[in-house]
Structure 1
Amino acid sequence: MSELIEIATLQLKFLQSKETTGGSIDLFEMTLQPNARMPIPHYHESWDETIYGLSGVSTWRVDGQDIDLSPGETVFIKRGIVHGFTNRSDGPSTCLCMLSPGVLGPQYFREIAALMAAGAPDPARMKETMLRHGLVPVAG
């Protein structure tokens, strides 16, 4: 399995999903272009997330603390912890993301990509999509 999903300045390459692992994990490589970010801080109700830096440097805001993620380093985000990310560097940054258990899958990202491709996304539709897939947006 290898599916590529592009969302504005983010690129996700799904390697495994809840469908291929029987719900054990979701695993994808994420590339953030310079100034790419998760625009809405959020938390997950039903899964933990482990991020492993592959190239470049991304910054993860986890529970109010900024953590720079370089190649070979990890960040663990326990379910219920508010987080987001950005690439403040001049070059792309790539990381490997593992969600455990695998309950999200690529469908959420496909839907967000479609909303973004339609122009300026409607905040209410973005929030509804996030909530439907188990991501809880938090005011920044």
Structure 2
Amino acid sequence: MTITFIKSRHETAGCLDAFEVTIPPSVHLVIPHFHRHYDETVFGVDGITTWTIDGVVTQLHPGQQLFVPRGSHHTYANLHPHSSRMICLVTPGLLGPEYFQELSYAMDEDGPMDHAAIGLIMSRYGVIPAAIVDPIIMPKYSPKVLPQGTQSSLLGN
């Protein structure tokens, strides 16, 4: 998974975080969670992502948008044979690229995932791990965070 920031909380005085997410084919990388202090709006760009929000499964196609209000338990996956891409808008901006950078260290693709560290990082940014009935497929890749305006590659650190 690759994350490229468009604008961060640092550039918007905390008003928003905007970033592009590219997910490889047939991958579920996101720990089910909810946001304590912010809302998320997601815009489908390429491919299809499958979201589970408060137990309801929804597919996000290119040109569609999805609103995830704070407190909603959610996760997403790319269950299709092609990469998917979406733009996420978090309001207010409370994450910044450092959130994803910290997660990438705890999700080393060559070693075991440090669940305790991931939970601590998530909770420090108001992202609370949550139980969702759907089975979770464990991450195979670490998220890669690229500077604003940098072209994204699909995988790796």
Say whether the fold is shared (TM-score over 0.5). yes
In structure 2, runs of 5+ residues without a counterpart are 133-157
Aligned 1:53-68 pairs, distance under 5 A: 53-68=44-59
Deviating beyond 6 angstroms after TM superposition, the runs of 4 or more aligned structure 1 residues are none
One-letter identity of the residue aligned with 1:86:
A
Aligned 1:98-113 pairs, distance under 5 A: 98-113=89-104
- Percent of pairs identical after alignment? 37
1:83 alignment partner, one of 50, 69, 74? 74
Alpha-carbon contact 1:49-1:100 (below 8 Å) kept: yes
* Distance in structure 1 (CA, Å) of the matches to 2:120 and 2:11: 26
Residue of structure 2 in register with 1:120 after alignment = 112
Alpha-carbon contact 2:107-2:114 (below 8 Å) kept: no
Q: CA deviation at 1:122?
A: 1.5
State whether structure 2 residue 85 is matched by structure 1 residue 94. Answer: yes
Higher strand share: 1
Residue of structure 1 in register with 2:129 after alignment = 137
TM-score, normalising length from structure 2?
A: 0.80
* Distance in structure 2 (CA, Å) of the matches to 1:105 and 1:111: 11
Q: Tell me: higher relative CO, structure 1 or 2? Use CA pairs within 8 A at least 6 residues apart.
A: 2
TM-score, normalising length from structure 1?
A: 0.90
In structure 1, runs of 5+ residues without a counterpart are 1-9
State whether structure 2 residue 2 is matched by structure 1 residue 22. Answer: no
Q: Please state whether the residue corresponding to 1:112 is helix, strand or coil.
A: helix
Q: CA deviation at 1:104?
A: 1.0
One-letter identity of the residue aligned with 1:120:
P
One-letter identity of the residue aligned with 2:47:
G
Alpha-carbon contact 1:40-1:139 (below 8 Å) kept: no
Q: Deviations over 1:22-69 (max 9, x none)?
A: 001000000010122234210001100000000000101111111100
Judge which range, 25-34 or 36-45, deviates more: 36-45
